[in-house]
Amino acid sequence: MLCRDYSDILRSILMKRYRIFVVLAIFLLSSSLMCAKGKKDLWKSNAAAWWNNTSKSSGYCDICNVTISKGEGYLLSSDEVASSPKYKDYVFKQQSSIMKALGMGDQEIMDSVSRLLSQAKESPTPWISCNKCIDMFLP
Ligand SMILES: [Zn+2]
């Protein structure tokens, strides 16, 4: 009997705990989505402010080189670019395909990728991203 009571209590605690996890999961998911939207909006308004301070009428995406019209795109810091796992993947894939075609080995590719990533991190100017590449910086 005691054992049964105990298991009932345990079950009810687990149920409550489970409920808390569900609530927590929903909260985290919605806050991370809101956070992603907030970041995207911020990067967009940073880009708009940057365009207002330049005489350029168009630019190029710092990631894929596509043309960006005045007022468009997203402006990110070098740190935000260099710390993105999806950006690291992108650089790796891009370098691999180019360097393998040139007959270079894995070590040379890895060296080149880490050099490019540290250059990205140290870039003194912000990065502008097109509508497509911005997904690399969102969760
Ligand atoms: Zn791009």
The number of residues in the chain equals 139
- pTM, full prediction: 0.73
Torsion angle, alpha carbons of 77, 81, 83, 86, to 10: 160
CA 121 to ligand 1 center in whole angstroms:
18
Domain count, the chain: 1
**What is the average pLDDT score of the chain?**
89
Helices 106-122 and 85-101, axial angle in degrees (round to 10): 140
Residue type, 50: W
Q: Do the domain assignments include residue 85?
A: yes
Which residues is 74 bridged to in the sheet?
A: 129
CA 41 to ligand 1 center in whole angstroms:
17
Q: Which domain holds residue 117?
A: 37-137
Q: Do the domain assignments include residue 29?
A: no
Q: Do the domain assignments include residue 32?
A: no
pLDDT digits (tens, 9 = 90+) for 83-129: 999 999 999 999 999 999 999 999 999 999 999 999 999 999 999 99
Q: Do the domain assignments include residue 16?
A: no
CA 73 to ligand 1 center in whole angstroms:
9
Q: Do the domain assignments include residue 5?
A: no
**Helix, strand, coil shares of the chain as percentages rounded to 5?**
70, 10, 25
